[in-house]
Structure 1
Amino acid sequence: MTENLPVTATNPEARVALAPGSIVVIRDEEWLVQAAEETADGTLVHVQGLSELVRDTSASFYTSLDKIVPLEPARAQVVADDSPRYRTTRLWLESTIRKTPVPLGERSLSVAVRGLADPLSYQQSAVRKALGPANLRPRILLADAVGLGKTLEIGMILSELVRRGRGERILVVTPRHVLEQMQHELWCRFALPFVRLDSAGIQRVRQQLPATRNPFTYYKRVIVSIDTLKSDRYVASLRKQRWDAVVIDESHNLANAATLNNRLARLLARNAEALILASATPHNGRADSFAELLRLLDPSAVPVNGELDPDEVRRLVIRRHRHSPEVAQVVGADWAERREPDNVLVPATSEENAVARELEETWLWPGRGGSPYSEQNASLFPWTLAKAFLSSPAALKETIDGRLGRLGHDDRAEAERRALRRLAELNDKTRQRPPAKYQRLVEHLKEIGVGRGSPVRAVVFAERLETLRWLHRTLPADLGVPANAVELMHGGLPDDQQQSIVEAFKQEQAPVRVLVTGDVASEGVNLHAQCHNLIHYDIPWSLIRIEQRNGRIDRYGQKHAPRITALLLDPASERFAGDVRILAKLVEKENEAHTALGDVASLMGHYDVKSEEDDIRAVLAGSKKFDDVVRPVAAVAAGNDLSALFAQLFDSPATPTFEPSTASQPDADTEVDLGSVVYDDDVSYLEDALQEAFIDPTAPLARGGVGWRRDTAFGTVELTPPPDLAQRLNVLPQKYLAERNVTERLVLATTRARGKDRLAAALHDDKKLSWPDAHYLAPLHPVLDWAADRALAALGRNEVFAVRGNVDSPTVLLVGTLTNRRGQVVSVAWLTAQFPVEDDPSFALIAPHGSAREALASLGWDSSRANPGPIENVAALQGLVAPAVDQAEKHLITLFTAAADDVASRVEQWSTRLDTWDEEADALIQRSEIKRRRASVEQERAMVQAMAPDRQLVRPLLVVVPDVEGVVL
């Protein structure tokens, strides 16, 4: 039995514990406790305002600075409800249930399966693993291959954390060009509003906040780029912030301990409870670098000697790919199989052949005269010329001009200058007519249907910026399309402009038909909404880059078979022709590894674009063989390196983390009844809340209403947000709020089918904005939270309603919660206390119920009831409250002790792992790196201690008397 569990029946102090759900009085105002945690400065209580003056206000108070008076549940006053159909009681009950956090150990998913994400079992298994009993703190590396939907997995995990009272403050860190995409997905699919601090957002913050104000205290949920956040400007602010959850996308960029990215990650990891790392390339082949990622998640997961423990890797990492069994069996037609890659050899023109010969004879394989280049270590430059040549004449010209501008004036520099000018003259001749590869590109685009009036789209990738600019200038005229039908995106553009281009490419009504882009778009960007054609205008000398590019259109949600084409210039020279065949092999190898492994980086074993390019350059130069550089697929899994470990751990059918889920079924939202309880659905709850709050909700805002309108046939509702609701939406993009008129007329889709329809329609309407005109009313929607806050203010200080129900004798409905020192709910119990003996209010029959829904059903409150009038003589019921609370506390001792013991066993496993690490570290304590890691482990130990349950709260919710008339609607 857990010694620290308070025996509340004999411990009055436990009744008034500052546990989530309790009501407290601070500064003469009433507040609902959302969480209470022990800190170095005392107990910190996070609250939501209930009384009129502080309604819609969130605040935090220290017990050492403010007098915080909890209201004693056993002394709650019973009041009669005279509202029609007991509307006030029903709203208060539903809001209380919604504000009661789901226990941290709950094994079923609640809100995660009720958003607009398709119910895919492999994504839900990832969420279960992140929240499972093996992780008291949700800390996970989502390492699914490109295209599986890591963003949706992130959204599902965050949704569950919010519903469990563990997601009030969330920070999401992403690359610049996917900021809006991440914000869009979290809002449109899960109703989680985040402020986006891109360049425009930061400028807006600077206008709104004083220069000395920490923006991370002002905004609770933030999406920001890693480039912005890692600067010294924000590090000091971040050190002072604690986050319930931190998400870092493209986390493979964190592994190098000497970088600013890693410094930022270590800082955030220390200050976050939940940590979600995401990367399709989770390791670089080096065990020490991968270990650094694992240490961010759990500093004790990697032994002091640095050797990876497969069990710890399996505990902290999730890895699947397109053809993993658990993925392949569920994606179906929503992820069309890609076609075999089409490598198109394009014979060079005579002018291009002349350039190729010059490159061969003078630069790549010079004869007896030696090389013309002047720098001793400039052996890479000839291959830079070759790569530029294979890209475009424009790229070669830029490379030549750049080199000429950097040359000195000695003899060797003069020799090189002459050679470069000769090469430039030959290259200028290739520019007098369209290059062969360009002509084939135009033909190919026309063949697949790109042209004036056609909806067909294509994305064209090239490495060199000059190639991109040249394609952007010349393609419109040769395709016969307007200039705005060809869009250019590259890394030199501001982040908001990059996001705008990606947004337009998703829109059916946007004029863009061809996106020419560099590798800035190869990571994280979704380009598949309107496009299934991708052309490599030049082929990267890296398998990683090829895979990243292909993943932009080859991903879940792609309804058409992705068509991937590579254009390869084929000079007449045998040596250059051999080079072209090597590059074609890269495309074929990527496709082979995509099918078998979902991980192309393991073929070359470098896990680094530059290193792969160096090896391919060596193959082209003849110093290495292709088959020695690029391993066969079968050899990867048979090896003994980190790639083999991943293949062995993750390339097999997943073992269910918990009991089998039905969440892949169409009715996934019925998996666990954690949605609306008192009401049939969310919209009925919202409508009743408006009826309660406004005399006539259908009246305009100016006349005391909200202009409420419900269209059942179309599955939508509309209202004008009052200022306190509009304020909750203001963190969303200003363009979205303005274009969709959100703060003036909020339109909500009330069914999942309607929500999906409007989200899909947003890609086709004339607003050219992928944010929907009717936002789905998901369970966590701010409008429902706003309604709950208003409803909870309906009762006076420490009151409960008395109502009629289908009971044989007076019965009290109660809820009990067990929480830990971090203020997290460990267990929730719903009970009824029935008083069968009229003259003996001290005798109560306690009945536990499996859920709030079940408890209400036992009272006859599973359907709407008529209210014939307020119950008379409620004072006689007052004497039932204290005995009900007392008897319920006694009954819960056994139940909560079992829950506490379950947590204690997991805490013990955690502590044992920390102790083992400590013992191993003792011998190496003088090493500075070990000292740094030990500090993290000690912080982890303090976290362990705070996870132990230490407070219990039982609250009366309702007093129900027999309904002699049996009036039910």
Structure 2
Amino acid sequence: MGSEWADRGPSVSLHCAATAAEERIFAELTEHWLPPRATSTEFGTADQDRRSVGTDPLVAYNLLKSFLSSHKALADTLDTRATSLTARVTKAAKEGRRHDPAVDREQEAVARLRALTDSMGDGTAPGDSAKLDALVEQLKDIGVGPRSTTRAVVFSERVRTLKWLAEVVPPRLGFPAAGTTTDNGNGKNGKNGKNEKNGKDTESPHVRVMHGGLSDEEQQKVLAAFGLAENPVRLLFTGDVASEGVNLHRQCHHLIHYDIPWSLIRIEQRNGRIDRYGQRHQPQFRALILTSTTPGAKDDRTVAEKLLRREEEAHKLDGTAEAVTGYYRAEEEERRLIRELVEGGTVEEFLGAAPAAEDDMLAGLFGQVDTITEQELPPRAEVPSLFDGDTEAFTEAALAELYDECAEDLIGLARGDDPKGGQYLSLSPAKAPDLLHRLKALPPSYLKEQGVGERMLVTFDRALAERKLTDAREASDTLWPNVSFLTDIHPVAEWLTDKVLVQFGRQEAPVITSPQVTEPTFLVQGIYSNALGRPTVVKWMAVSGLPGTPEVGDMSDALRAAGVGPRLAVTGVPHDLDRLAALVPAAVSAARDHLERTKDEWADLISEPLAQYRQQLAQWRQDSLLPERTSRGRRRIEDTADEQAHLLDQLQTSGRPLLRVLAVLDRPASTDTTDDTPAES
């Protein structure tokens, strides 16, 4: 993909030594909520009486994760927990019973943690939060500031953290505070004053916050602002609502994990927001790792940094981290990891016991797909084309065939010249409901922004299309080019293809006449399939010499010899359609006989790699069934080998071929013509 997708940079861990206030919180969490795992000594088990003060073991880890995000997020979590505990006490009193004494102990612990949290600063000055200070320092190093176009996206799992960062970070970088007037960078002043409805200050014009609490429309506005080159937005603080399926790479190649999700899948999804096709600069990843000197403290090195490193390893070795654990869903992956930690386990033990932990044994079976050389690749199939891949020629021919002189009235077809060079077609999908329906496959934001339903501009000129794409990337008011490049997979091309095809009824095929044809030639497609119903052999044949001595040649050669293409002149009707129809059974029979005679040749080509793989499978099965394997592991090996063997059986060619008469080449009834009009067929 060349420069259209720059190689990914490393994931840099930035250790942030906890402040004194943060160390007190670590100490409280370690002493009362998350005591170290008990260890065995010669006198028994040490620390066996130390237990979490939490009545629910999951609460302790929720508090820890909140704190590793920010003390603001921890405060919100503590408030929620305090409310829940009070409700339990109240409910017990109403029911005339005494509540669990453990609730009292947890309430006291919650209150202590809340007091420690309140003792921390609000982040407006250095020293209040180690990670906040590191974030500001990193953003300055990157070059984010009022006089720079550099942008960065900062991820956090907690909405409270995102909102807090959006408040305190911009002023520390020198950005004007919310409620001021700023130059948008395009000569226009952008106001960021009071909200007319509620009188509250809106966020800084240089900052956007996105989280799951925003509507889809609000999220799209945030993404649009961050993706426009001339928009003043320089910082996007976002939650994991933007971690999947969202493009943040248009104007940004810096991503900072303020906190790290306890899921390899989620980390990979986050990184993928700027590491994607169209990224011109090397994506840069940084992660803020809060560290503690408190003995036994579960800081970011305990879980987060280990997962960060494992995700990077998986990306380098396998291209993806999705299958490392075998859970394939971020929520399930994180839930099971926390359960492992609650039971006293570690990240390493979690990864070692995950369903995919033994999948290293599959490396010998599936790990060689990227070692095939160009010389070892099977030959590519040749697919005949009347237009040699010329989408413009096909489109012009199809429009002429379908609409003749009425295209302007029926589909609003018009042609235009771009002021900077290049031509384009303009059409109105609203006048063609079947085309309008197909356009639903295109991005909704593109359809809406460009008003494609009413007027669509397409071009065959690659230079014009690339210029329009560049203009859109650098524009301040658009995300999409107003002229799109029309290729053979564009919905317009597919729409025209189907409209041309439906002109032929069931069991019908066109007759193409050319003075260069000496005898009727039937163009036949033959297809062999495997047990899965998928084609294994596709042959394009030209059958001539009928009915006496049929000869089967190559379809592409026959088309070239007949001069069939978009410039074929209209030469008149064929001699005798009834005679041609009568020859169809003989043409099909000749094509079938030809396929049957060459079947063994094709079968050898298909069977050879399957046979090699079958030998590899047998060897892998033998080598993998080691005595030290667990019964579960041995069972997986046997099941995998059986499944692969069954698949190999299904991939073999089977059954009789399917034959389709695609067209017939014939000599016209009269070749005395000077008409050079392109043929309608």
TM-score normalised according to structure 1 size = 0.50
Which of 236, 257, 265 is the matching residue for 1:536?
257
Larger Rg: 2
Q: Verify the 8 A CA contact 2:227 2:250 in the aligned structure 1.
A: yes
Partner amino acid for 1:426? L
Check the 8 A contact 2:151/2:251 in 1, yes or no.
yes
Q: Map residues 501-516 of structure 1 onto 2, 5 A cutoff.
A: 501-502=222-223, 505-516=226-237
Cα distance between partner residues in 2 of 1:881 and 1:769: 55
Q: Of residues 561, 564, 575 in structure 1, which corresponds to 2:285?
A: 564
Contact 1:802 1:958 in 2 (8 A): yes
Contact residue 522 and residue 665 of structure 2 kept, 8 A: yes
Instruction: Please name the residue that 1:891 is paired with.
Output: 590
Question: Structure 1 residues 649, 474: CA separation in 2 closer, same or farther (over 3 Å shift)?
Answer: farther
Confirm whether residue 343 of structure 1 aligns to residue 50 of structure 2: no
Aligned CA distance change for structure 1 residues 900 and 759 (closer, same or farther; 3 Å): farther
How far apart are the structure 2 equivalents of 1:582 and 1:678?
A: 58
After TM superposition, give the deviation of residue 528 of structure 1 in Å.
3.1
| 1:857 equivalent in alignment to 2:582 | no
Partners of 2:77 and 2:493 lie apart in 1 by 59
Contact kept, 8 Å, 2:66 with 2:158, in 1: the verdict is yes
Within 5 Å, which residues of 2 pair with 1:870-889? Answer: 870=572, 876-878=575-577, 880-882=579-581, 884-889=583-588
Q: TM-score, normalization: structure 2?
A: 0.69
Q: For residues 708-857 of structure 1, what are the structure 2 equivalents within 5 Å? A: 708-709=415-416, 714=422, 716-721=424-429, 722-724=431-433, 726-729=435-438, 731=440, 732=442, 735-751=445-461, 755=465, 758-759=468-469, 761-770=471-480, 772-791=481-500, 801=511, 803-807=513-517, 809-816=518-525, 827=538, 829-833=540-544, 846-851=550-555, 853-857=556-560
Q: Report the Cα distance in structure 2 between the residues aligned to 1:464 and 1:817, rounded to whole angstroms.
A: 59
Tell me if the contact between 2:428 and 2:456 (Cα under 8 Å) persists in the aligned partners.
Answer: yes
Partner residue, 1:609: 334
Deviations 1:308-348 (A, max 9, x none): xxxxxxxxxxxxxxxxxxxxxxx788332413513232441
Select 1:403's aligned residue among 78, 81, 91.
81
Q: Secondary structure at the match of 1:455?
A: coil
Aligned-partner SS, 1:483 = coil
Question: What SS does structure 2 have at the residue aligned with 1:643?
Answer: helix
Displacement of 1:856 in angstroms is 1.4
Report 1:77-476 matches (<5 A).
118=1, 334-339=5-10, 341-348=12-19, 350-365=20-35, 373=53, 375=55, 378-407=56-85, 408-409=88-89, 410=99, 411-434=101-124, 435-436=128-129, 437-452=131-146, 454-476=148-170
Paired amino acid for 2:242: A
1:401 offset after TM fit, Å? 0.8
Deviation of residue 534 (structure 1)?
1.6
* SS of corresponding position for 2:145: coil
CA-CA distance at 1:652 after TM superposition: 3.6
> Cα distance 1:947–1:398, how it changes in 2: closer, same or farther (>3 A)?
farther
The 3 A distance-change label for structure 1 pair 617 and 537 is: farther
Q: What are structure 1's unaligned runs of at least 5 residues?
A: 1-117, 119-330, 664-670, 835-841, 914-939
User: Residue 710 of structure 1: CA displacement?
Assistant: 6.9
User: Superposition RMSD on alpha carbons, in Å?
Assistant: 4.9
Q: CA deviation at 1:578?
A: 6.8
Q: For residue 660 of structure 1, report the CA deviation from its aligned partner.
A: 5.2
* Alpha-carbon distance, 1:855 to partner: 1.7
Which of 195, 205, 209 is the aligned partner of 1:488? 209
Q: Partners in 2 of 1:893 and 1:518 — Cα distance?
A: 61
CA–CA distance in 1 between the matches of 2:223 and 2:106?
42
How far apart are 1:404 and its partner, in Å? 0.9
Q: In terms of mean alpha carbon deviation, does 742-751 or 959-968 score higher? A: 959-968
- CA distance in 2 between partners of 1:586 and 1:794 (Å): 58
1:484 Cα offset (Å): 4.9
Q: Percent identity?
A: 31
Q: Does 2:681 correspond to 1:681?
A: no
Query: 1:830 is aligned with what amino acid?
Result: M
Q: CA deviation at 1:824?
A: 8.4
Kindly provide the amino acid, as one letter, of the partner of residue 448 in structure 1: I
Tell me, yes or no, if the aligned pair for 1:457 and 1:531 is still in contact at 8 Å. Answer: yes
Query: How far 1:576 moved relative to its partner?
Result: 3.8
For 1:844 and 1:455, the matched residues in 2 are separated by 77
Query: Superposition pairs for residues 40-79 of structure 1, below 5 Å?
Result: none
Contact between 1:815 and 1:829, CA under 8 Å: does it hold in 2?
Answer: yes
Distance 2:528 2:48 in 1: 81
Taking the aligned partners of 1:543 and 1:855, their CA distance within structure 2 comes to: 56
**C-alpha deviations, 1:188-225, integer Å up to 9, x for none?**
xxxxxxxxxxxxxxxxxxxxxxxxxxxxxxxxxxxxxx
Match of 1:103 in 2: none
**Superposed CA offset, 1:256-281 (max 9, x none):** xxxxxxxxxxxxxxxxxxxxxxxxxx
Whether the 8 Å contact between 1:510 and 1:768 is mirrored in structure 2 is: no
Q: Please list every run of 5 or more consecutive structure 2 residues that lacks an aligned counterpart in the other structure.
A: 37-46, 90-98, 177-202, 615-646
Distance change in 2, residues 1:541/1:879 (3 Å) = closer
* 2:426 partner SS: strand
- Higher RCO by CA contacts (8 Å cutoff, separation 6 or greater): 1
Per-residue deviation, 1:392: 0.9
Aligned equivalents of 1:675 and 1:450: distance in 2? 54
Q: Secondary structure at the match of 2:132?
A: helix
